[in-house]
Structure 1
């Protein structure tokens, strides 16, 4: 299954339906590259251990916190996600491929409420009827993405080592996609959740990012 190239023509007013869309239930392993290297990027592997997506980040500079690029294994840009400032709702926006000046975003992610703990809403620009909700706790790697009919389309879970049955650390987790959901888009949402989770640290240094 080819999961890492996107056909721009398939993004017009229909949400995301490209060649990275899954036709079967698909499971990815997501790893924070800060486990091994300086920086704060990601590598994503399929069930056969093949690299399908990657994100490179090279330090704590604010420009890397506010804009990230999702790439295929060969370094080709698939999505750019960028924090919108100023924003009370921790809003982020996503752009197809590499963002250029004047380019319009194709989706936005925002808190559903700024009072208390909340879920996140994913708006698909250009298609008002297309919307997703993200519920759960990304800090604990326990999230579900729901479509407008409240059907689960993707889940994030802690990963268990297949041989030892040991629960792995939070820097290694599973991203599972139901048939018909775009893998690159799902990973772009993971990037946004990771950045928002990093912003939401309370005074004791603990993440406070439960999504009710």
Structure 2
């Protein structure tokens, strides 16, 4: 509980200082109204919803569960929005949950692509669903009831020596799709990444490192911002952060 309260305080401090540093005083009222509308909505509407205005989230690479590694994500008012608790080592499956613990998205490693680190993203939780498929001996029933992934994320591999590319990963809508829906560029090590539309190259979401010292303690790369621009799903943006962490940590 003390850990969560300190993060709530940090989120408010970072959010206020960010506006001061970027000279966004004129946009404060608009951002506050957008954020207040976002926070006042029912939790069911917030999770998995496309943002209608810029959403600023604080990501902490810590779990609220003492025995687990994970992530905690809160908004600028300290409200718990997303959490990940099943994050130890290199898991085969990662579940992104909302603040109440309900599954939002499930990410599973895709093992059919050799050396390429890739993941499939599913809506909700798929454990019980796949267990049903295994117990069902009918091939047609298994096919009709199996849950299909909504996205496939593949790590960019530079095979050329001294190749310079800031592309981290490609996001596809299907495992057989050859045209990427989104491109992720930047450096996850420095928490400076951008999610771009695959066609227009418009920035849809981005992470920003915050060099903030609170109470004499520097949070380094363990605490950073996730900025989600209008028209992009904050939940999916957070899922991409989790996969970047797997690929580049």
Specify the TM-score bucket, using the shorter chain as the normaliser.
0.7 to 0.9
Task: After TM superposition, list the pairs within 5 Å mapping 1:1-212 onto structure 2.
Answer: 1=38, 2=41, 5=44, 20-33=49-62, 37-57=66-86, 59-60=88-89, 65-87=91-113, 88-99=115-126, 100-101=129-130, 102-115=146-159, 118=165, 119=167, 120-125=169-174, 131-148=181-198, 149-161=200-212, 168-198=219-249
Residue equivalent to 2:18: none
Kept after mapping to 1: 8 A contact 2:64/2:85: no
Give the SS at the match of 1:33: coil
Kept after mapping to 1: 8 A contact 2:191/2:207: yes
- Looking at structure 2, the residues matched to 35 and 117 of structure 1 have their Cα atoms a distance apart, in angstroms, of 38
Q: Which shows bigger deviation, 125-134 or 37-46?
A: 125-134
- Looking at structure 2, the residues matched to 3 and 194 of structure 1 have their Cα atoms a distance apart, in angstroms, of 29
- Looking at structure 1, the residues matched to 220 and 65 of structure 2 have their Cα atoms a distance apart, in angstroms, of 14
The 1:83/1:43 distance shift into structure 2, 3 A limit, reads same
1:167 shift after superposition: 6.3
Return 5+ residue gaps in structure 1 as ranges: 8-17, 199-212
Kept after mapping to 1: 8 A contact 2:48/2:104: no
Kept after mapping to 1: 8 A contact 2:65/2:85: no
- Looking at structure 2, the residues matched to 93 and 181 of structure 1 have their Cα atoms a distance apart, in angstroms, of 19
Q: Which shows bigger deviation, 153-162 or 172-181?
A: 153-162
Give the SS at the match of 1:193: helix
1:103 shift after superposition: 1.7
- Looking at structure 2, the residues matched to 140 and 79 of structure 1 have their Cα atoms a distance apart, in angstroms, of 25
What number of residue pairs does the alignment pair up?
185
Deviations 1:20-63 (A, max 9, x none): 21111111000011698343211100111111001112644x5x
Kept after mapping to 2: 8 A contact 1:3/1:22: no
Q: Give the RMSD, CA atoms, in angstroms.
A: 3.0
Deviations 1:117-150 (A, max 9, x none): 6521001239967700000111110100001210
The 1:181/1:41 distance shift into structure 2, 3 A limit, reads same
Give the SS at the match of 1:125: coil
TM-score by length of 2: 0.65
The 1:139/1:163 distance shift into structure 2, 3 A limit, reads closer
Return 5+ residue gaps in structure 2 as ranges: 1-37, 131-145
- Looking at structure 2, the residues matched to 6 and 188 of structure 1 have their Cα atoms a distance apart, in angstroms, of 18
TM-score by length of 1: 0.76
Structure possessing the higher relative contact order (Cα contacts under 8 Å, 6 or more residues apart) = 1
